[in-house]
């Protein structure tokens, strides 16, 4: 039986490319929802019509949460 690979070897550039592609797909999907007439069974405001965009948004959030951001260990961190 096949199993999923749990170890990925992706570079920072690979992750940026994936995130950019997901953002572009989400934007194109949202634009298609705006352009689509609302005469079909599911109105644009319903959750089922927005599900793909929500899934992409959640995936982007999970990718963001796995990042390790730089914080100096010896000095005080000044954000901004």
Tens digit of each residue's pLDDT (9 = 90 or more) over 4-26: 888 888 898 999 999 999 999 99
26 with 57: CB under 8 angstroms? yes
Give the pLDDT score at 76: 80
Establish if 40 belongs to a structural domain: no
Domain-located, residue 2? no
Contact 49, 43 (CB under 8 A): yes
Is residue 55 domain-resident? yes
pLDDT of residue 22: 96
What pTM was computed for the model?
0.65
Q: How many residues does the chain have?
A: 80
- Domain of residue 52 covers 12-35+45-65
- Please indicate, yes or no, if residue 27 is contained in any of the structural domains: yes
Structure tokens at 15: 């992750």
**For position 67, what pLDDT does the model report?**
84
Would you give the DSSP letter of residue 4? -
The answer to whether position 77 is within a domain reads no
Give the total number of structural domains in the chain. Answer: 1
pLDDT digits (tens, 9 = 90+) for 24-73: 999 998 888 888 765 455 555 556 767 888 999 999 999 998 888 777 77
Is residue 21, in this structure, part of any structural domain at all? yes
Q: For residue 49, is it within any domain?
A: yes
């Amino acid at each position: 039986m096949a199993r999923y690979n749990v170890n990925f070897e992706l570079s920072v550039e690979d992750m940026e490319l994936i995130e950019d592609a997901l953002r572009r797909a989400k934007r194109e999907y949202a634009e298609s929802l705006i352009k689509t007439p609302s005469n079909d069974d599911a109105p644009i405001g319903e959750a089922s019509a927005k599900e793909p965009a929500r899934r992409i948004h959640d995936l982007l959030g999970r990718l963001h949460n796995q990042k390790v951001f730089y914080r100096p260990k010896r000095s005080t961190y000044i954000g901004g």
